């Protein structure tokens, strides 16, 4: 989803636009507890780590701890 503010004349009215992700684009797996930081000078978001829990039965819970780094260019997400 992207935020589109150019069509509205009132700055308080925002219109969201849904975009399809290309099939060749990389997306990190679903996770919780990840850390995300904004590198404002480079218009980049940086995502690190996280955990995914797999509930295989009522009595067991397996966790996968991620130790990877993902970078997202913010200019590609926002249309100003």
Residues in the chain: 80
Q: Write down the pLDDT at residue 12.
A: 67
pLDDT score of 80: 46
For 71, the domain range is 2-77
pLDDT at 21 (0 to 100) = 73
State residue 51's pLDDT score. Answer: 94
Tally of domains within the chain: 1
| Residue 45 neighbours by CB under 8 Å, 6+ apart | 36, 37, 38, 39, 71, 72, 74
Q: How many CB atoms lie within 10 A of CB 66?
A: 17
Residues 79, 2 contacting (CB under 8 angstroms)? yes
* Average pLDDT per block of 10 residues along the chain, 80 residues long: 55 73 77 90 90 88 91 67
Q: Which two tokens stand for residue 6?
A: 């150019």
What's the whole-model pTM score? 0.55
């Amino acid at each position: 989803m992207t935020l589109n503010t150019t069509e509205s004349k009132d700055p308080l009215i925002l219109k969201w636009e849904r975009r399809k992700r290309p099939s060749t684009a990389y997306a990190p797996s679903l996770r919780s507890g990840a850390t995300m930081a904004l590198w404002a000078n480079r218009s980049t978001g940086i995502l690190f780590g996280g955990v995914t829990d797999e509930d295989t039965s009522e009595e067991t819970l397996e966790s996968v701890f991620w130790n990877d780094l993902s970078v997202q260019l913010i200019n590609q997400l926002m249309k100003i």
